Amino acid sequence: MSSHYEAPIREPLVTGEKTYHDISVEVGAPVLGRANKTWYIVFTLALIAFLWGLGCIIYTVSTGIGVWGLNKTIGWAWDITNFVWWVGIGHAGTLISAVLLLFRQKWRMAVNRSAEAMTIFAVVQAGLFPIIHMGRPWLAYWVLPIPNQFGSLWVNFNSPLLWDVFAISTYLSVSLVFWWTGLLPDFAMLRDRTTNEFQKKIYGILSFGWSGRVKDWQRFEEVSLVLAGLATPLVLSVHTIVSFDFATSVVPGWHSTIFPPYFVAGAIFSGFAMVQTLLIIMRKVVNLQDYITLLHIEYMNKVILLTGGIVSVAYITEFFIGWYSGTSYENYTYLSFGAATGPYAWAFWALIICNFVVPLTLWVKKLRRNILWTFIVALVINIGMWFERFDIIVIDLSKGRTPSSWAMFSPTFVDIGVFIGTIGFFFVLFLLYARTFPVIAQAEVKTILKSSGEYYKNLRAKHGDDVPHHAESDPTAKEPEANVKDSDAFMGSTSSEGTSHEATVNADALNLTDTQKDQLDAMLARIGTYNPQTEKSDDLQKLDGVGPVLEQHLHQVGIYKYDQISKLTKEDYELLDEVIENFPIATNRGDWNVQATELKNK
């Protein structure tokens, strides 16, 4: 858990006067509420693009890959370009999830969930292209080293193309487990907040029985760290292996030792650009500007600057070494004078302008914190990184060692259709995810609320770092010192328009109505009150489904003893469910009356 202290000079990561309840409500709203018109319009467009692409894929599989623009010289083109581009886009999710988690970076918590989802959806798109390129996708299982009836037929473990199979499948599986593990407390929040019985059952299954106990959180932290440790090498290995598809060949422009780090930096570069593109749209559409702030956008822009700088150094190195070698073949590679002035000059300069020139504007802080400009730069980088992969593949293949084999590549409508179809498929998946899963890790954001929330930082700026000011200014910090009627000295008067309510109830923290206060008064009058001068409070966390947060909420409504719990009625449980956020459902808490009776008699 995060410390409650943070240097005052740091900007808040959660703006507005947010409480834990506000986070649950606002993060759950896009899922539990109705989709707006904008969502339906974007989803319809994405679905149309996906269906168009699906038609092109069916046409390709049924007719053959001859419907693409490939020829004898250029056997890889848009298909592998798109494969490498999608794999690169998926890199940011693993970096944000694993590496930044190990470095305990708080700002990752508002963006990691969507970045992880983006990773999975991008890798799904990437995997489509090699399968389609096989020409006979129904035989795709031949790339797996499984027992077969074909005698000596076996996979070639020396081929980097086979390494891709293992790298991508491992990447997808680890990312999926990592994503799902992080979603468990969010699914539980939706399960407890929804009023729809069908949704309650579905999210109950998806949450794997999460109850918020200390043991749940302990295992959650342990598993997250283990998965982060497993996923961190993937950040380096996956795109390194993808780069081996080219670097282990003898094609001029491909046979380069700089490719592994160059590809990894480029993948993170394009991945963060796509995260920026998606989150800038999403924060506006689902009203999450208080959680995905300008500070988050600036931090991601700094990562883009760093990785963009590494990529730029690689460009300069490639260009210089090719020129310095004096080899005539190097004058036709994707980063050479020949490429800059030849038939693919438009693709060369698109690469340089989009990936080298435009990102330099992010060195200016005013532009780095400008949302519109960031969105434009992110789009430009995505386009530029696609051109980089296109240049590496097509330009290098178009002019080989023998001029008689030189050829040009022109995409067909099927090439374009399949690519647009994968973009549509990606957005269909992402939009469905935004309507069914929380787009922000609300449980993790709550852990930094008191250290990085604007409201709490303002409190510390005003009152200093001492704790006592919380009793006056922070409603959620108030806890009744004594569960007796004369505790007004700590709580202050709880009267409202001449009506006195039970002083043991922390009405400010729970934000209760007068009716609810009256109902709690009646309940406490029946089940009894707690006096710390003569009694000792019981450990309510021994009850099923009770963790430290729920125990605090029970204290806030005046419940401290097993004896009080044992006297609760069905109506009392309904009242507690109404006034306590994320109160466990009956199946999760079991029979508290029986449990409390057994515990008090021990």
Task: Give me the DSSP letters along 44-111.
Answer: HHHHHHHHHHHHHHHHHHHH-GGGSS--SS---SHHHHHHHHHHHHTHHHHIIIIIHHHTT-GGGGGT
**The pLDDT of residue 465:** 59
The pLDDT of residue 417: 92
A 10 A CB-CB count for 192 gives 23
pLDDT at 457 over 80: no
pLDDT for 422 beyond 90? yes
Mean pLDDT, to the nearest integer, of 411-438?
A: 90
pLDDT band, residue 490 (cuts 50/70/90): very low
- Helix, strand, coil share of the chain (percent; to 5): 70, 0, 30
CA neighbor of 48 nearest in space, from 446, 497, 425: 425
Residue 229 reports pLDDT greater than 70: yes
Please check whether residue 113 is in contact with residue 410, taking contact to mean a CB–CB distance below 8 angstroms. Answer: no
Q: Strand, coil or helix: what is 498?
A: coil
Tell me the percentage of the chain whose pLDDT exceeds 90. Answer: 13
Split at pLDDT 50, 70, 90, the class of 332 is confident
Higher-pLDDT residue of 462 and 353 is 353
Closest CA to 194 of 547, 590, 577, 570: 577
The secondary structure element, H or E, covering residue 595 is helix 592-600
- Say which residues have a Cβ less than 8 Å from residue 509's Cβ, sequence separation at least 6: 475, 476, 477, 478, 556
> How many CB atoms sit inside 10 A of residue 315's CB?
19
Res 305: pLDDT: 92
**pLDDT recorded at residue 249:** 86
**pLDDT reported for residue 423:** 93
Contact assessment for residue 60 and residue 412, using Cβ atoms and an 8 Å cutoff:
no
Domains of the chain by residue range: 20-444, 478-600
Residue 548: pLDDT over 50: yes
Give yes or no for residue 555 having a pLDDT over 60: yes
pLDDT of 479: 40
141 Cβ contact partners less than 8 Å away, ≥ 6 residues apart = none
**Residue type for 160, please?**
P
Global confidence as pTM: 0.73
Q: Phi/psi at 453 (nearest 5 deg)?
A: -80, 140
Task: Supply the mean pLDDT for the chain.
Answer: 81
Average confidence (pLDDT) over 350-365: 92
User: What is the distance in angstroms between the CA of the first residue and the CA of the last residue of the chain?
Assistant: 34
pLDDT at 421 over 90: yes
Residue 501: per-residue pLDDT: 54
pLDDT, one tens digit per residue, over 159-193 is 888 888 888 888 888 888 888 888 888 888 888 88
Of 454, 419, 414, give the one whose Cα is nearest residue 15.
454
Q: What Å distances lie between residue 498 and 320, 472, 493, 509, 599, CA to CA?
A: 84, 23, 11, 21, 40
Residue 468: how many other CB atoms lie within 10 Å: 10
- Of 242, 307, 245, 239, give the one whose Cα is nearest residue 272: 307
Helix (H/G/I), strand (E/B), else coil: 558:
coil
Residue 534, pLDDT score: 77
Judge whether residue 463 has pLDDT over 70.
no
* Residue 261 pLDDT > 80: yes
| pLDDT score at 487 | 38
How far, in whole angstroms, is CA 114 from its chain's centroid? Answer: 3
Looking at residue 339, its pLDDT comes to 83
* DSSP state, residue 114: H
Alpha-carbon distances, residue 522 vs 503, 525, 526, 581 (angstroms): 13, 5, 6, 21
pLDDT score recorded for residue 408: 86
What is the CATH number that goes with domain 20-444? Answer: 1.20.1630.10
Task: Report which of 184, 248, 254 is spatially closest to residue 221, judged by C-alpha positions.
Answer: 184
Give residue 511's pLDDT: 65
Rg (CA), the chain: 29
**Structure confidence at residue 1 (pLDDT):** 41
Q: Which helix (H) or strand (E) holds 332?
A: none
Dihedral angle of Cα 543, 549, 554, 556, to the nearest 10 degrees: 160
Contact in structure between 185 and 220 (CB atoms under 8 Å): yes
Express as a percent the part of the chain with pLDDT over 70: 89
What's the distance, CA 555 to chain centroid?
A: 35
CB 210 within 8 A of CB 185: yes
Mean pLDDT of the region 511-530: 80
pLDDT in tens, 186-207: 888 888 888 888 888 888 888 8
> Could you count the other beta carbons within 10 Å of the beta carbon of residue 54?
16
Residues 26 and 286: beta-carbon distance below 8 Å: no
| pLDDT score at 466 | 54
Q: Do residues 129 and 83 make contact, with C-beta atoms less than 8 angstroms apart?
A: yes
Cα dist from 557 to 498, 508, 521, 560, whole Å: 21, 11, 9, 9
Of the given ranges (356-370, 412-426, 578-592), which has the lowest mean pLDDT?
A: 578-592
